Amino acid sequence: MRSRAIYGCAGTALSATERDFFRDVKPWGFILFARNISDPTQVKALIAQLRDSVSDAQAPVLIDQEGGRVARLKPPHWRARPAAAVFGALHRTNPEGAREATYLNARLIAHDLSELGINVDCLPVLDVPVPGAHDIIGDRAFAADPSTIIALAKAQIEGLMDGGVLPVMKHIPGHGRAGADSHLALPRVGATPEELSASDFVTFRSLDQCPIAMTAHVVYESIDPQRPATTSPKVIRDVIRGELGFGGLLMSDDLSMKALDGPLSVRAKAALFAGCDLVLHCNGDMDEMRDVASEVKDLEGMSLKRSEAALSQLRIPSPFDPVAAEVHLADLLGPSSAELGA
């Protein structure tokens, strides 16, 4: 039985301490960051070590590979990808071309990931940015209108899944209004339930069939003024599972972010009690991971069923010519695509 946690690791290879810890606590999956990546051969070896530690050759391995400023795989070994806003800009003049370009770009990302053995990408970003909000979302969002985000995110989800990679929509139920970066502080959003429902929540409600979602460390004062979504039973029950109708696997954003406070064990317990199926801990700090593990139990009940349902959607990548796709994508994006890394 696997536990209800996803962990990072400290470097480019597992230490004996990390290997033993993962063997003992059997996390649901792992997540990679830039500190874990040097070249393709090394990444494949690290992923093999991670999976060997839990005796599962298909254990989920996650990454944040969005394109733009959020990309863990970088040149020279991997091609840079445009930020989501590039596709949103194209959508204004060529909606069909933008959808095709978004699909191709996601399919190419999935090709890179699948070649390494990575099978989950924390994408798409469904947050709806508003003027005056913190730019932590910014160009990571396709656009400022929900309809464009929905159209392009749907293409992005299809591209990832056709490439054998599960998508994770984030940050449910919406980070776009946040006035702070939740890595550094706890954002509070004062919008009314009606405003949130008419804008912020629309994208998640429309794409509620996405297999996995990641919570927002954001307080929605009109719904639960005390707790961010990640640790709010009310937000998860009434909004995420209720109004938005999301029935998939729900994971927290990183527990070590400064939006949350208290010991890591308390954060983990609160997120799981609130209704998260899995908790995420990213920084590879062994003391913190042990603290998280002290409160994380085995995956069971509805959380286990949701995990099984999500993982059942993994498929072998469909036939694909990455060279032809690169050429076609560059053509769709136009002359500026070279600067964007497309």
134 classed as catalytic: no
Those residues with Cβ within 8 angstroms of residue 119's Cβ, 6 or more apart along the chain or in another chain: 58, 60, 61, 113, 164, 165, 166, 314
Q: What is the spatial distance between Cα 104 and Cα 329, in angstroms, rounded to a whole number?
A: 6
Q: Where are the alpha helices (DSSP H) in the chain?
A: 16-25, 40-53, 84-93, 95-116, 146-162, 193-198, 202-206, 233-234, 264-274, 286-293, 301-311, 322-333, 337-340
183 classed as catalytic: yes
Q: What is the spatial distance between Cα 281 and Cα 55, in angstroms, rounded to a whole number?
A: 21
> Of 139, 253, 254, 291, which residue is the catalytic one?
253
> Of 39, 183, 298, 331, which residue is the catalytic one?
183
Sign of the Cα torsion 158, 160, 165, 168 reads negative
**What count of Cα atoms within 13 Å lies in the side-chain half-sphere of residue 131?**
0
Distance of CA 21 to the CA centre of its chain: 24
Catalytic positions, written as ranges: 183, 253
